[in-house]
């Protein structure tokens, strides 16, 4: 079956512009995670959704970052007034059940964001 | 959040077993031990997880110390396709925040 998909795969933007990154989880998956990954480092947790409820947003770096999942399926991560330090790979993951501690996360291919 | 410590890198010969260690001395009773790996230019993929007992699946085995302060991921016969960064992660049943760390980069020699 289809895995997690993300779009766009690559995004180049100018400093100060807003960007919206989309994640399409595996159909029927309850949980959705967003991560940011800098080159040579492990993924950094940003936020977590259980269905449409954003249950943990403790990893969002500042108020320029926001995420939503209005119908409990597709999710959008929005970065306002982008800065060069926002350049990174943004990854989305989904899991079938909302079982804290034990769920298996399936990762998408990521969106490579470059802020000029 | 409970942290894990892993060697930065390890090297193995093809078709030999590989033991990837992980220390988690501050682990709590409700922390599960997960391993993910990330192949070059791909997203992380799940390998295995456990709580107290050793676990086996088609990809690997997970050996957990009796005091749970360390664990070892075992790849029984390394192949070139196993070259990746391996992450040892503690995930608590009280929440969903997942801390990856830097992982161990495994090099496999032919």
pLDDT of B38-88, one tens digit each? Answer: 999 999 999 999 999 999 999 999 999 999 999 999 999 999 999 999 999
Mean pLDDT of A30-50: 95
pLDDT at A2 (0 to 100): 84
Please, which pLDDT band fits residue B2 given cuts at 50, 70 and 90?
A: low
A45–B43 C-beta distance less than 8 A = no
Residues of B in contact with A55 (CB under 8 A): 96
DSSP letter string, B70-98: EEEEEESS--GGG-EEEEEEEEETT----
A48–B46 C-beta distance less than 8 A = no
- Which residue in the set A35, A44, A101 is minimally distant from B30, CB to CB? A101
A43 → chain B, closest CA residue:
B100
Question: Does the pLDDT at position B1 exceed 80?
Answer: no
pLDDT at A100 (0 to 100): 84
A107 → chain B, closest CA residue:
B43
Cα separation, A113 vs A53, whole angstroms? 26
Per-residue pLDDT tens for A41-87? 999 999 999 999 999 999 999 999 999 999 999 999 999 999 999 99
Cα separation, B98 vs A32, whole angstroms? 12
Residue A39 burial (CB count, 10 A): 7
Q: Which residue has the tokens 């807003």?
A: A18
Question: Does the pLDDT at position B102 exceed 60?
Answer: yes
């Amino acid at each position: 079956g289809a895995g997690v998909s993300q779009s766009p795969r690559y995004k180049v933007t100018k400093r100060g512009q807003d960007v919206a990154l989309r994640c399409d989880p595996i159909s029927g998956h309850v949980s959705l995670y967003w991560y940011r990954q800098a080159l040579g480092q492990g993924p950094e947790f940003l936020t977590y959704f259980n269905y449409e409820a954003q249950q943990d947003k403790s990893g969002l770096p500042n108020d320029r970052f926001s995420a939503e999942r209005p119908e409990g399926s597709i999710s959008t991560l929005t970065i306002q007034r982008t800065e060069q330090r926002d350049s990174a790979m943004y990854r989305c993951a989904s899991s079938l059940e909302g079982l804290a501690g034990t769920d298996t996360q399936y990762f998408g291919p990521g969106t490579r964001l470059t802020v000029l | 959040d409970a942290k894990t410590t892993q060697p930065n890198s390890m090297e193995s010969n093809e078709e030999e077993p590989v033991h990837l260690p992980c220390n988690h001395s501050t682990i709590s009773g409700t922390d599960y031990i997960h391993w993910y790996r990330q192949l070059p230019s791909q997203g992380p993929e799940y390998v295995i997880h456990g709580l107290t007992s050793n676990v086996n699946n088609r990809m690997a085995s997970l050996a957990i110390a009796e005091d749970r302060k360390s664990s070892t991921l075992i790849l029984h016969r390394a192949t070139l396709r196993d070259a990746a960064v391996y992450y040892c992660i503690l995930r608590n049943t009280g929440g969903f925040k997942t801390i990856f760390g830097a992982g161990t980069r495994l090099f496999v020699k032919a």
